[in-house]
Structure 1
């Protein structure tokens, strides 16, 4: 039995891997947990010693395969960060499965499976909110390459996809459990054998019919929603030029002056810019040579910024959006915040920003600071607790030993043509409810600026682009995406990639996007499925514990 359990655990891990974007087939996710659920049931019913430990180990094997095979590319940016993310995330997933096993000992199978789905979704919600945030493998993200299946994300967000995966997996698992003869068939009388075969055939037909409904109906609903959101291309819209400078972050990016970068990006953008162009977009931290200021208002007078502004004078209707690295030297307490850093001299305080800069030829500059940060590289999780223990070990992973300063609200920039653009910076695009806050603040389209070159030509940058498609569906907003080395793209409100520029290609995209108003159900209500799941999970847990305590008193 141990060997069979090992094979089943391996099978679950492989199915999760082969079902993940961008090289997998998402349909496999709908059955990927079934082998592991069978392993857990066997251990619960037939193992009397150390069953919980074995459940944890077998689930750890499954989830390690999934995490490692799909996010190995983190190694190219930070080996320590990759191993930390893989090992810790695998352990957290295994603890969720262990929690299901422990409750299943005390509750009915149906209650325990409901608890598992609720607990997993609650775990995914935790990954969106806590300081070790890593929602990359939240199950609903698995459909990012099959957007025709999940147009209903405008109502549910990605947690609708997570719920769908668990519903189908649980149904298939329960069907497997029920498809077992009570007695060996060779000991049954002929008439009983015939009756049992007919009964079994009817059972299979009914189960297959329900399974097909569980899989096909959501896809059909998605097709209906897609048809209702179809837009005929009438021309017009907002004209954008998306720049992809293709600068290596390891050997070039931080060794080139901002003046040189401005010359480079304008040489790429201006040949495609004309009197109809509304917006030029450049990547995250494209001005990477840290601009040191005593006050953020002084950014307006920086030489590279003025060089950019001068390049737009011949195009008075053009707006510019791009990334910039800023260091603000703290002179008084009003400038301090929870992320303020201390220089190695032990005296000088400063705020470190990864920001988006928005400017027009003849108007004041506006700025937004990235606020969903990459763990370990841009922020120090639970800094007050961990820094005395680890020093700068957590931050010294990506060429920096400082914590980025964030802002509370989502800034939206208004363009000359009255369209409103959301400056979504890199990792922020992974967070559904977070991006929806831009739309609540009036954004009529999204601009994602990013630098995905840290991971090389791996699945990393492909998955990041793919996840952006989910944000388009959730909010029914077009997306203009500028990536340093690619993949830059224009994505429509149904998650379809309309134009793109391949990885490690230097150049620019000239295209049209269609600003849209109105808010979807998901934009308005956010991750309500996760909140409901958390409450249900807590209720099932308390009910099971109370019920067991009551039985003991009897």
Structure 2
């Protein structure tokens, strides 16, 4: 078993090496699972007891090491508030939960190998993996950060076809290449030919070369339709751990306006300010927002810009006469909902709000209701509310007076490809991401978050304007290239002429079709596990 554990660790190392933010290594994902598949095959064919348990252990080891090495910054964020032992305990949730699901996928794959032909078993493996990824972006503990297709964001030139498939196309591609590479290696090593080596080699070459060549042709030949708009993104660089301790809301607003004015042009149409940029010590009542000094100062600033709009993050709340939503909490004889929101301010009296929908488990919402209520005091340290934030059920588009549609994507939401595509289907001509990546300090978390935004640009062929409080702000064009970006931990503002786009990609129109096909395959695989199969075709 020692050799098998080394193989599992090798897969974990390759997966980590291939993962953002390490540049240009994403191509390694096309063979990263081969050592683990070899280790699992050794167990399947070896003289071992409790083979299923051993396969589960190996797969969990790979997943745990890969996840922990790639998202170590989760612990960093918590350790700023909590004792090391407590921080480590909580960090084990994201570090271990996804690996447990991954290990379950391989355990079910082993069960299929005992009942079905190897080809059907591999189809089951891929389908079950896609099912795991879909589950992990849909349930109460959603954290799709480590979905395989995201790993190709550091070689975005090679996945321009995400405009058709989205990130699940990347997951599928990675798994198909790994399976063919494994078959080639295994048959060569053991000098067997259950499948034609020549056919496998040709197939693998085609599977790798055709998508890459197609993508590079798309990348080189893609031309943006000229439809310019001048955008400013602002990075005020306010330490989130010291907010209201070192700077007042009024000083923060003054800083945002000063930075905006430093790069603004007479034709600037959008000023993008980061998550929670507009705030008040007691929050901002949405119905009374026009009476707040922040609104008055913002509109005064916009008087210099004929078509100017401020799209900003805001900490807001609404008060209801009765419990209008599940997240509303008692507030005297009424109810109150708190929001991590975005607001659009223009030169008129019209104000548009959007409430963040994809909430961070624990930090912004309590997953599974009362089941984890004992952890509320710990989660409050991350800015969450004891009752959880309110949210909108679907995305909404902000429209300027001139008719430009902007997608107000708030932080964590930018990881969900199909959710962002819904903004575009509703008329958004560019993607405006407002975020605050300073919670993670100077770790790879901020770089990964920026890299994933490149995939949203490709999927929808929309420019991304990104304003981060203490992260990396910048602009990404429709090919996924980072055109401008700020330094880390430095106040800055950038101005960029982007091209608006109204055309819809195949992915924007139809979303995660590959995920839905994978779910169908996942369900079929689970049904096959209940049906005795014919003797499988062995690699021997």
Normalising TM by the smaller chain, what interval?
A: over 0.9
* Deviation (angstroms), 1:400: 3.1
- 1:458 paired with 2:457, answer no
User: 2:252, 2:457 → 1: CA distance?
Assistant: 30
The aligned runs of 1:474-489 (5 Å cut-off) are: 474-489=459-474
Q: Distance in 1 between matches of 2:290 and 2:199?
A: 68
Question: How far did 1:526 drift?
Answer: 0.7
Question: For residues 254 and 496 of structure 1, do their structure 2 counterparts lie closer, same or farther at Cα, with a shift above 3 Å needed?
Answer: farther
Structure 1's 494 and 477: CA in aligned 2 closer, same or farther, altered over 3 A?
Answer: same
Distance 1:164 1:550, change over 3 A: closer
CA contact (8 A) 1:275 1:315 kept: yes
2:207 is the counterpart of 1:214:
yes
**1:92-107 matched pairs, under 5 angstroms:** 92-107=101-116
The counterpart of 1:376, out of the listed 338, 349, 362, is 362
Cα distance in 2 for partners of 1:383, 1:394 equals: 15
Does residue 328 (structure 1) correspond to residue 327 (structure 2)? The answer is no
Q: Which residue of 2 aligns with 1:432?
A: 417
Mapped contact 2:27–2:155 kept (Cα < 8 A):
no
Displacement after TM superposition at 1:267 (Å): 0.8
Distance in 2 separating the partners of 1:411 and 1:297: 18
Provide the C-alpha distance between the structure 1 equivalents of 2:419 and 2:58, rounded to a whole number of angstroms: 35
Aligned to 1:144: 153
1:290 & 1:514 partners in 2: Cα distance? 38
Structure 1 residue aligned with 2:325: 337
Does the Cα contact within 8 Å between 1:44 and 1:105 map onto a contact in 2?
no
The answer as to whether partners of 1:119 and 1:537 remain within 8 angstroms in 2 is yes
Residue 276 of structure 1 corresponds to 267
**What is the CA-CA distance between 1:336 and the residue it aligns to?**
2.5
RMSD: 2.4
Give the TM-score normalised by structure 1: 0.90
Whether the 8 Å contact between 1:155 and 1:474 is mirrored in structure 2 is: yes
Partner of 2:219: 226
Q: Which stretch has the larger CA shift, 468-477 or 90-99?
A: 90-99
Match of 1:546 in 2: 531
Deviations 1:359-398 (A, max 9, x none): 11223111111110111100101114433xx262463340
Following the alignment from structure 1 to structure 2, what is the Cα–Cα distance between the partners of residues 483 and 125?
28
* Residue 70 (structure 1) aligns with: 70
TM (normalized to structure 2)? 0.92
Question: Counterparts of 2:534 and 2:176 in 1: how far apart (Å)?
Answer: 30
Kept in 2: contact 1:290–1:327 (CA 8 A): no
Q: Does the Cα contact within 8 Å between 2:117 and 2:534 map onto a contact in 1?
A: no
What SS does the aligned partner of 2:339 have? strand
**For the residues of structure 1 that align with 2:149 and 2:318, how far apart are their CA atoms?**
39
Give the structure, 1 or 2, with the largest relative contact order (CA under 8 Å, sep 6 or more): 2
Query: Would you say how many aligned residue pairs link Structure 1 and Structure 2?
Result: 525
Q: Which of 133, 141, 162 is the aligned partner of 2:142?
A: 133
Matched residue SS, 2:121: helix
CA shift in 2, pair 1:369/1:392, >3 Å = same
Shift of 1:337: 0.5
Residue of structure 1 in register with 2:51 after alignment = 51
Aligned to 2:235: 244
Aligned positions of 1:299-378 closer than 5 A: 299-330=289-320, 332-333=321-322, 336-342=324-330, 349-378=335-364
Distance in 1 of aligned mates of 2:419 and 2:180 = 32
Query: Aligned residue for 2:20?
Result: 21
1:165-204 superposed matches below 5 A: 165-180=174-189
Gapped runs of 5+ residues in structure 2? 79-86
Which segments of 5 or more consecutive residues in structure 1 lack a partner in the other structure? 184-198
Say which one has the larger Rg. 1
The alpha-carbon deviation at position 182 of structure 1 amounts to 5.7
Q: Does the 8 A contact of 2:98 with 2:136 survive in 1?
A: no
Deviation at 1:549, TM superposition (A): 10
Paired residues of 2:472 and 2:488 also in contact (CA < 8 A): yes
Superposition deviation, residue 467 in structure 1: 0.2
Query: Aligned to 2:180, what secondary structure does the other structure show?
Result: helix
Range with greater deviation from structure 2 (102-111 or 220-229): 220-229
Shift of 1:62: 0.8
Cα distance per residue 1:494-532 (max 9 Å; x no partner):
101111111112110011111101111111111110111
Q: Is the 8 A contact 2:117 2:535 kept in 1?
A: no
Distance 2:42 2:151 in 1: 28
CA contact (8 A) 1:425 1:449 kept: yes
Aligned-pair distance for 1:95? 1.3
| Change over 3 Å in CA distance of 1:431–1:543 after alignment to 2 | same
Deviations 1:287-322 (A, max 9, x none): 2434546x6321122121211111212223211111
Partner residue of 2:384 out of 378, 381, 400:
400
State whether residues 362 and 379 of structure 2, in contact with CA within 8 Å, keep that contact through their aligned partners in structure 1.
yes
Note the 1:406-445 alignment, pairs <5 A: 406-445=391-430
Structure 1 residue ranges (4+ consecutive) displaced by more than 6 angstroms after TM superposition: none
Once the two structures are superposed, residues 415-465 of structure 1 have per-residue CA deviations (whole angstroms, 9 ceiling, x without a partner) of 233221110000000000000010011001010000000001110000000
1:121-158 CA-to-partner distances (Å, cap 9, x unmatched) read 11111122111101000000011011110000010000
What is the CA-CA distance between 1:27 and the residue it aligns to? 1.4
Give the drift of 1:32.
Answer: 1.0
